[in-house]
Amino acid sequence: MIVMAVASALSVVPMVVSAAKPELNDKEYFSQPSLDVVVFSNWYNGLFGDSKISGVELIHFGERTATNGDVRLSATPEQWDPIPTFVKREVDEKTHRISATLSYPEHDFTYTISARPIDNGVQITLSTAKPLPASLVGKAGFNMEFLPATYMETAYLADGQAGAFPIYPTGVKEIIGEHEPEPLATGKHLVLAPEVAQKRVSIESENAQLQLYDGRSKAQNGWFVVRGMLPADKTGDILTWRLTAATDEDWLRDPVIGHSQVGYLPQQSKQAIIELDINDSTKHQARLVRVNPDGSSTLVKQAQPESKGQYTRYQYASFDFSDITEPGLYQLSYGQTTTAAFPIAEDALEKAWHPTLDHYFPVQMDHVLVNEAYRVWHGASHLDDALQAPVNHEHFDLYAQGPTTDTQYEPGEHIPGLNVGGWYDAGDYDIRTQTQYRTVRTLVQAWEEFDLKRDTTLVDYERKFVDIHVPDGKPDILQQIEHGTLALLAQYKAVGHAIPGIIVPDISQYTHLGDGLTMTDNLIYDAGMKETESDGTRSGVFDDRWAFTSKSTPLNYGAMAALAAASRALQDYKPALARESRETAINAWAQEADKKPDMFQVGNTTGGGLEEEKLKAAVELLITTKDKQYQKAVNGLLTYIESDFGRNAVLAIRAMPHMDSAYKKRIRNAAKSYQSVLQKATSQNPYGVVITEHGWAGNGTILEMAVTQYYLHSAFPELFDADLIYRSLNYLYGTHPDSDISFVSNVGTVSKKVAYGMNRADYSFISGAIVPGVLILKPDLPENKENWPFLWGENEYVINLGGAYIFAVNAALKLAGR
C-alpha cells in the first residue's frame, strides 16, 4: 500500500521542462516564466550585516529560494561575520550582462561578479585583476545560500552521489579558527531536489569543487550553503558556475485573494484585492458565497473584478462587496482559488485585540516569571540588572556609550534599581527605552480614549509572578502601563535621566533563544570572584546586562512624555506611583530647559529628533498639568508641527483642548492641507494604505496611520472619514500583497504561525503579536515568509506594535458604535 501511494504521488508531479534563456528586463534582472535571477539589486542590511537579502538571488516559481551569492570568508557565515564593501553595479543591455564589483579593503582584495543568461539560468563568473591575497587563501569562497524551508525533506545529487537534506542539523558547527564544518556533500555538479520539479536547481562548477553545508549547525537562522573556494595565484576569471533551474514556460502564479481573515462589520466598506501573475490573461468572475449550516453554500454576489493595474511584479483587481451586510459566514473565490471562511458580523472585531493584551504583553514582561496554565514562558530573568557599560564602546546592536558614563558609576560597576519592569523589546531580550516609552504612551491613549477594563491576567510584583488567563480584579492595560512605567522611572531614580537601554554585552548571549532566565544566574557580577564562586547575591559569572547611560535630550523628552502620560492613567490605580511619575517628568523638563541639549546619537536607541521628542513631552505635560509653560512650548513648535503634519497630527490634535483659538485655526489649516498629501500617499498601490519599501516591513506605519486617522476624523470629521482605519486593519488581517494571511498571530481564520519571537527556533508564534509584514525586496518582490521565521525584517515581533494595534482596533469599534 505504501509503495503504491508513493508511486501514485510521483506520477502526478508535472514534468516541468523548458529550454529558454531568461531575458534581461527593464527592471534590471533576468526573468523567464517561473524563474528570476536577481543580481545585487539588494544589499546587506547596514544595521545588522547579513539579513539574507543580497548578492545573486533566485526567485523560483514565485518564491525567493536562494540569496547571498557572493564572496564570503567562512563556509557558513552568520549575522556578524565580515561582508564585502559594495563598489558598483553595472548593467550592460548590449551583452545582457549584470556585474557587481565589491571589495574586502582590509585585505586589499577587489573582485567582480558577473552573470549572463544561459538556458534556464545564468552563468556566474568571478574575476579579479590581482591574485587572492595570502590572508584569504583557504578562507575566501563564493557562497550561495538556499532556503532550508524549501529543501528540507528533499534529496540532492553530488556528482551522482545521493543524499537527503535533513530536517534538523547534525555534526560539527563552524567555529572560525577552531573547527571547520563538515560538508553534507562535495562534487563539481550539484543538483538540489532533483525529484521535485518546482524546486530543482543545478550548479556546475568549471573550476573548484562545490561543497554543500548546513548553516543551521552554527545558527538556527542559517541556510544551506553551496560554496566554491577561490583559487590562489590566479587572475582573470577565477571561478565559473552554471546555475540552472527547472522551469515551465506555461507557469502562472496562483491568484491570491486579499481579504480580512477576521471578517467585516456589516456597515464597513468591504473590498477584496486579487493579486494575479503579470502574465495571467484569464478573466474569471469573483464570487462571494454564504456558507450554510449544512455545509452547502449560497451565491450572494458575482462580478468581474475591476482592474487596478500593476504594482510591484503583479497585476491587481478589486472586488467590492460593501453592499453585503447580512451577518453570516462567507467565502470568496476567483478561478480555482477559494479563501478560508470569514464572518460578516456586528461583533467581528470585538475580540480581535484580546490576544494582544491577554497574551503577548504578559509574555514579553521582563523581571517576572510568566506562567500560562501548564507552561512557563520564562522565569524571572535579569534580576542582576545592570552593569555600567564601558565608555567609548559601540555595541553590535545599535547601542553605544560615549566618552563618559554620565552617571556616578564606573564602567563595569553595578547600577542598583534597574531590575524592575519593562518588556522584552522584540524577538530578543533588551530593554530599549525608545520602545518602552512609545508603548507606554500608546497604552495610555487607549486607556483614556476607550476605558478598557478587561482583566484576564494576574500580576504579583511581590512574588515576581504573572499568570496568564487568571483575573486579579485589576484592568490589564493599567498593569501593563505600570510595568513600562516602572522601568522608565527606575532609570531616573538610578542615574537621574533616561538611558538608551539595557542589553547583554556579547553576541553569545544576544543570540540566546528560549527562556530569558537561562541567560543569567540572576546574581550581581563581582569581578573579584572566580567564575565558580557565589555568595548567593554575587557571583563571578559575567552574564549581567550592560546599561548604556549616555545622556540624550531627545531620549529624555520621550521618557518624560511617557511618565507624564502614565501619571494620568495611574492616578486612581496607583496614586503614589502616579505622583512620582508626574514629579519626575516635571523635574526632568525643568532640567532640560536650563541647559544646552545633549545630542548624543547612535543607531535607533537615543531618541528621535529633538523637536519631535520635545513636542511629545510638551503635549503630555500640558494635558497632565494644564501649566501654561507647556502651552508656550507647544506654540513654539507650531512651525515644526506644520512642516510634517502627518507625523505630528496626533499630538497636535490632542493638545487642541488646551490651546487658544489661533493655535486651533493653524492646526485646522494644516489638517486641510494634509488631505491631498494623505490622498496621494494612500493611492500608490491597490490597497489604499502606505506600504513602505525599506529594510523593515511597514505594519508599524500602517498602524500609526490608523491611529492618526482616528484623531483626524474625530477632530475634523468634515475633512477626514474613518475608512483608512478599517483599510489599515484589513491590511493587517490579510488584504495585502504576497498572501492573504493575518499578520496578527492567532487573530483571524488563517494567521501567522511562524514568526520571529523568543520561540522562533521552535517555528512557533506568540498569540496576539504582530509581525512587520510584507517586505518589498528590490526591485519588485513582495515577500513575507510563513515557512521561515528568521527574517527579522518580515517576521520579528515588536512590543510597541502591540499598543498601536490595541488602539486601532478599539478606534474602529468606537467609530462603529460598539
pLDDT digits (tens, 9 = 90+) for 386-437: 999 999 999 989 999 999 999 999 999 999 999 999 999 888 899 999 999 9
CA distances from 586 to 436, 485, 544, 562, 598 (A): 19, 15, 32, 12, 18
CA distances from 348 to 434, 561, 628, 716, 734 (A): 33, 34, 44, 27, 15
Residues 202 and 288 in one domain: no
Peptide bond into 386 cis (omega under 30): yes
Residues 405 and 268 in one domain: no
Question: What separation, in Å, do the N-terminal and C-terminal C-alpha atoms of the chain show?
Answer: 56
According to the model, what pLDDT value does residue 11 have? 36
209 belongs to a structural domain: yes
Does pLDDT of 298 surpass 50?
A: yes
Contacts of 590 (CB under 8 A, 6+ apart): none
* Burial (0-12, 13-18, 19+ Cβ within 10 Å), 281: exposed
Grid cell 523589546 in the structure block, residue: 425
Residues 333 and 209 in one domain: no
Of the three residues 199, 215, 245, the one that is the final residue of a domain is 245
250 belongs to a structural domain: no
Residues 273 and 231 in one domain: no
User: In three state form, how does the secondary structure of 303-327 look?
Assistant: ECCEEEEEECCEEEEEEECCCCCCC
d(CA 117, CA 94): 12
pLDDT grade for 48, boundaries at 50, 70 and 90: low
CATH number of residue 331's parent domain: 2.60.40.10
CATH number of residue 547's parent domain: 1.50.10.10
Contacts of 154 (CB under 8 A, 6+ apart): 164, 165, 192, 193, 195, 196, 199
pLDDT digits (tens, 9 = 90+) for 197-247: 999 999 999 988 999 999 999 989 999 999 999 999 999 999 999 999 999
Residues 393 and 520 in one domain: yes
Question: Would the pTM count as exceeding 0.75?
Answer: yes
Q: What Rg value do the Cα atoms of the chain yield, rounded?
A: 28
Average pLDDT, whole number, for the chain?
95
pLDDT grade for 787, boundaries at 50, 70 and 90: very high
Report the number of distinct structural domains present in the chain: 3
Give me the percent of the chain exceeding a pLDDT of 90: 91
According to the model, what pLDDT value does residue 10 have? 37
Of the three residues 214, 245, 276, the one that is the final residue of a domain is 245
Does pLDDT of 163 surpass 50?
A: yes
588 belongs to a structural domain: yes
Does pLDDT of 2 surpass 70?
A: no
Contacts of 392 (CB under 8 A, 6+ apart): 401, 402, 403
According to the model, what pLDDT value does residue 339 have? 98
pLDDT digits (tens, 9 = 90+) for 243-279: 999 999 999 999 999 999 999 999 999 999 999 999 9
Residues 142 and 51 in one domain: yes
* Burial (0-12, 13-18, 19+ Cβ within 10 Å), 335: middle
Q: Which domain holds residue 514?
A: 382-448+471-607
340 belongs to a structural domain: yes
According to the model, what pLDDT value does residue 13 have? 42
- 393: number of Cβ within 10 Å: 14
Does pLDDT of 15 surpass 50?
A: no
According to the model, what pLDDT value does residue 262 have? 98
20: cell is 529558454
CATH number of residue 162's parent domain: 2.70.98
According to the model, what pLDDT value does residue 7 have? 35
251 belongs to a structural domain: no
Residues 425 and 566 in one domain: yes
For 123-189, the DSSP string reads EEEEEESSPPPGGGTTT-EEEEEE-HHHHTT-EEEETTEEEE--SS--SPPPBTTTBPPPPSEEESE
Does pLDDT of 128 surpass 60?
A: yes
Does pLDDT of 779 surpass 90?
A: yes
Of the three residues 215, 245, 275, the one that is the final residue of a domain is 245
At 301, which helix (H) or strand (E)?
strand 297-303
Identify which of 718, 642, 710, 721 has the alpha carbon closest to the alpha carbon of residue 674.
642
d(CA 156, CA 202): 10
d(CA 670, CA 648): 11
Q: Judging by DSSP bridges, how do beta strands 501-503 and 431-432 pair with one another? A: antiparallel
According to the model, what pLDDT value does residue 46 have? 60
Identify which of 476, 520, 420, 478 has the alpha carbon closest to the alpha carbon of residue 768.
476
Identify which of 307, 304, 310, 350 has the alpha carbon closest to the alpha carbon of residue 327.
350
Q: Judging by DSSP bridges, how do beta strands 189-192 and 201-205 pair with one another? A: antiparallel
pLDDT grade for 36, boundaries at 50, 70 and 90: very high
Residues 529 and 594 in one domain: yes
Strand partners, 751: 742
d(CA 242, CA 777): 25
- 177: number of Cβ within 10 Å: 6
d(CA 431, CA 422): 6
Residues 261 and 233 in one domain: no
234 belongs to a structural domain: yes
Residues 265 and 239 in one domain: no
d(CA 787, CA 685): 26
d(CA 487, CA 782): 38
Strand partners, 524: 538
Residues 239 and 118 in one domain: yes
pLDDT digits (tens, 9 = 90+) for 423-443: 998 888 999 999 999 999 999
- Range of lowest pLDDT (44-53, 88-97, 632-641): 44-53
616: left (phi over 0), alpha (psi -120 to 50) or beta: alpha
Strand partners, 776: 782
d(CA 688, CA 316): 13
pLDDT digits (tens, 9 = 90+) for 563-600: 999 999 999 999 999 999 999 999 999 999 989 999 99
d(CA 777, CA 144): 18
- 310: number of Cβ within 10 Å: 13
638 belongs to a structural domain: no
289 belongs to a structural domain: yes
Residues 438 and 509 in one domain: yes
Give me the percent of the chain exceeding a pLDDT of 70: 97
